[in-house]
Every structure is written in C-alpha cells, then in structure tokens.
Amino acid sequence: MYDPALQPTVLEKLETWGRLTESDLRAMLTPVDRIRLRDDMLKDLESEGLLTIRIVGDEPVFSLTERGGQWLREHRSGA
C-alpha cells in the first residue's frame, strides 16, 4: 500500500517539469519519499487520468494530464 500524501508531490514535480523519466522523478524526491513511491500509486494516478505513463526506450516517462493539473489547482485552493 502506498502513502497517498505523496500524490501532490509527484503531480507538482510533473507540473514543473512537464514530463519526467522514472529515474529523474525518483532523483528529485527526498530519500524517504523515494522509499514511499510505489508503482501501484503511479498506475492509480494514470487510471484516474491524472498522469500518463509511456515507455520510452526502457524507462517509463510520466506526464501530467489536464485533469492532473486541475486536481492540483483544486487542492491548492482548498476546494
């Protein structure tokens, strides 16, 4: 089971950078957050339409969707 508190952190990184490889995303996280980052969380975010996952070469690449950006705006405003 993953920690849902990490979801905003991942989405904010993608908002800032547009798209990130899995290794780049992990490198940007704190050591504790790296441990908390689980593949099932990323797959859940994709199934919810908040990010996309594409395999480029041999590595997953994550991109924020419009819905993911909307989720961030709503949660920042407290709505």
Instruction: Name which residue leads in pLDDT, 52 or 79.
Output: 52
pLDDT digit string, tens, across residues 8-59? 999 999 999 999 999 999 999 999 999 999 999 999 999 999 999 999 999 9
Identify the band that residue 3 occupies on the pLDDT scale cut at 50, 70 and 90: confident
Helix 7-17 × helix 66-77 angle, to 10°: 120
Which segments within the chain are labelled E, that is strand? 19-21, 51-56, 59-64
- The greatest distance separating any two alpha carbons of the chain, rounded to the nearest whole angstrom, comes to 39
* Total domains in the fold of the chain: 1
Owning domain of residue 26: 4-77
pTM: 0.89
CATH number of the domain to which 8 belongs: 1.10.10.10
